[in-house]
Amino acid sequence: MKAMVSPLPLVFDRRRQRAYRRRAATLGRSTFLIERVAEDLSDRLATVLRRFECALDLGTPTDAVRRALAASGKVGTIIAADALAGDPAVSRHWARETVATAEREQERTLDVPLLVAADEEALPFRDASLDLVVSALTLQFVNDLPGTLVQIRRALKPDGLLLAALAGGDTLTELRQAFAAAEAEIEDGISPRVVPFSDVRDMGALLQRAGFALPVTDIDRVTARYASPISLMHDLRRMGATNPLLERSRRPLKRATLRRMTEIYAERFADRDGRIRATFEIVWLSGWAPHESQQKPLAPGSARQRLADVLGTTEIRLPRTGDGNQ
């Protein structure tokens, strides 16, 4: 008798999330956050003293990361993989971005990356085919992040690098708290109006589970200011970052709830000038596909010199207990 395997629980409505991205492309994107991430990625890549012949930009919603890769001088071929690569509205937006970049940098030729229509949860790349994989503000919306990380690690050549940024647990904490307080007052209960993003403490373990060597996670916390909570919500629409949860409330938001939310937000999270704060927590992940040349921890008990000798001090041994342990 075969063992029953529980299906992976679905958290995000991926079709809905793609629809939000299409809408953002037609509205005109808000790009300050993705541009900051691309600049940070450029700085991180500058510390890596090697060249990457084939790089994949996985799902990043603008060309900001691809521009950073091209400007680094460390990357050869750049591939852009996105589920919306064949979508007319998004393709027109990408074309406008490419032309605008060329005009801004006064380039005569357009360096157009290879575009691949691919979902982040089902990568079409063969094993050991990529030298570098980067992704910016996309992986927080996949249902199977461990599975995606495993696929990325398999697609990387030995000693290939993953650099990814995704929204962390404290992202939009002010909006989450204000909505929860308003719904508790006005409606029968609380519904998930803001996505519960992953905690940075879970990310390092996920990288290790996926088979990455030398995993590193860290946080960049960004505080943006807006004229009002409504301005923030409009900006989230232009980022394509509104609520794609499958368990989101299908009921229209009551005007009284929205009005009370804006009041609570202003009471708790406004500065003296009346502008409100919004937190964006960016979790950075980096890891390498295993290779024999990489540093490895020594086996326990393999040290050839005592720490006390290195420090030039006297070792003080603990007294032994009755059971022979120290």
Buried b (16+ CB within 10 A) or exposed e, 47-68: eeeeebebbbbbbbbbbbbbbb
Rounded Cα gap, residues 233 and 256, in angstroms:
17
Give the pLDDT confidence of 149-169 residue by residue, as tens digits.
999 999 999 999 999 999 999
Helix (H, G, I), strand (E, B) or coil at 129: coil
Count of C-beta atoms within a 10 Å radius of residue 122: 11
Residues in the chain: 326
Per-residue model confidence (pLDDT) at position 301: 61
Pairing outcome for strands 276-288 and 156-167 = antiparallel
Buried b (16+ CB within 10 A) or exposed e, 103-117: eeeeeeeeeebeebe
- What distance lies between CA 251 and its chain's CA centroid? 29
Helix, strand, coil content of the chain in percent (nearest 5)? 40, 20, 40
Q: What is the pTM of this model?
A: 0.82
What crossing angle do the helices spanning 200-209 and 145-155 adopt, rounded to 10°?
50
Place of tokens 């992953």: 198
Per-residue model confidence (pLDDT) at position 294: 75
For 166, residues 6+ apart whose C-beta sits below 8 A from its C-beta are 135, 137, 138, 139, 140, 197, 198, 282, 283, 285
Per-residue model confidence (pLDDT) at position 253: 86
List the chain residues with pLDDT less than 50.
1-6, 108-110
CA-atom Rg of the chain in angstroms: 24
Per-residue model confidence (pLDDT) at position 110: 46
Per-residue model confidence (pLDDT) at position 223: 97
Give the pLDDT confidence of 246-299 residue by residue, as tens digits.
887 777 889 999 999 999 999 999 999 999 999 999 999 999 999 888 766 656
- What distance lies between CA 207 and its chain's CA centroid? 13
Per-residue model confidence (pLDDT) at position 154: 97
Residue type, 303: A
Per-residue model confidence (pLDDT) at position 84: 86
- What distance lies between CA 60 and its chain's CA centroid? 9
Shortest CA distance to 211 belongs to which of 167, 160, 164? 160
Dihedrals phi, psi of 133, to nearest 5 degrees: -125, 125
> What residues form DSSP beta bridges with 287?
162
Rounded Cα gap, residues 277 and 265, in angstroms:
9
For 287, residues 6+ apart whose C-beta sits below 8 A from its C-beta are 153, 161, 162, 207, 210, 212, 213, 214, 215, 216
